[in-house]
Amino acid sequence: MNLTPDAHLSSAAQLAVLNSGERLDRWLADQISDLSRSRIQKLIEQGQIQINQQVCTSRKQIMQAGDQVQVTIPPVESLDLVPVAMPLDILYEDDQLLIVNKPVGLVVHPAPGHQHDTLVNALLAHCEDLAGIGGVERPGIVHRLDKDTSGALAIAKTDRAHQNLQAQFKTKTARRVYLAVVYGAPATAIGTVDAPVGRHLIDRKKMAVVPEAKGGRRAVTHWQVAERLGNYSLIRFELETGRTHQIRVHSAHINHPVVGDPVYGAGRSVGVNLPGQALHAWKLRLQHPVTDLPIEVTAPIPAHILTLLEVLRRRAGL
């Protein structure tokens, strides 16, 4: 069954146990299709579950045939987000998840200076029945893309889908392939950067390769040259981990920063006006959170990167 609360009203359901012997949290997860097990466990801890009119706060409670279970889901915690209708380039959509092709310049989450013109605002307008994720009224952004990075971005529409997709990224079942134009020509055709990434030790607004002893977290990026363009290269990157700015930091670390990157490629110019760094989340592969069927989407390469490639090919005489 579905039990999605209105943003301002509690939802409740009365359920009957037909067979005994199963744990409360597992049984409820099977009964309520749009709530994850972790969300259900939080409801149990909060005293929102009653068995035979008695509050139960033990998720390990063993159910007995004939038990009557009352489930109450409190109102979603509002973040005062404003739905704003704006066009979305949708690569895939069903009742569980949405994958969009985010353009350069679009901020994902509201922040100072971007209160109502973000992807979150657009998603709230597009998905009018979007469930609260973890009890908070916000779309289930599963992974991140920088403001000036374009490409495929997955959004969960239900709490259960959010938990499932997050687990896929954590266990590396979900895979991301990026394309980037970088400065220079790597000596080899393929390679791997295995270097921890953390907050820059001096400039706290930046990320950097930082020893784990000083706060860095393991970060692994696999790369392959897709096209050599004279003093530039088109590189295909595949992330094994997903640290903030990982590709940008690792590219700069091997002395091939991403073209147009104002932070990690500062001081370099390609002579072409770009709206952001030439980095694009090209392919996204994951399993459907309910059916387990594979989903793979390809986000078309944006016009500014195609133009850049044409210019570099002409310069290189290709």
Determine the Cα–Cα distance for residues 46 and 74; give it in Å rounded to an integer: 10
Determine the Cα–Cα distance for residues 228 and 236; give it in Å rounded to an integer: 12
Looking at the DSSP bridge assignments, the partners of residue 298 are: 283
HEC string of the chain equals CCCCCCCCCCEEEEEECCCCCCEHHHHHHHHCCCCCHHHHHHHHHCCCEEECCEECCCCCCECCCCCEEEEEECCCECCCCCCCCCCCCEEEECCCEEEEEECCCCCCCCECCECCCCHHHHHHHHCCCCCCECCECCCEECCCCCCCCEEEEEEECCHHHHHHHHHHHHHCCCEEEEEEEEECCCCCCEEEEECCEEECCCCCCCEEECCHHHCCECCEEEEEEEEEECCEEEEEEEECCCCCCHHHHHHHHCCCCECCCCCCCCCCCCCCCCCCCCEEEEEEEEECCCCCCEEEEECCCCHHHHHHHHHHHHHCCC
Cα 20 to chain centroid distance, Å, stands at 38
Among the listed residues 146, 148, 159, 261, the single catalytic one is 146
Instruction: State yes or no: is 146 an active-site residue.
Output: yes
Q: Backbone phi, then psi, for 251, in 5-degree steps?
A: -65, -45
Q: How many CA atoms lie within 13 A of 69 on its CB side?
A: 29
What the block records as the tokens of 142 is: 């599963």
Q: Which active-site residues does the annotation give?
A: 146
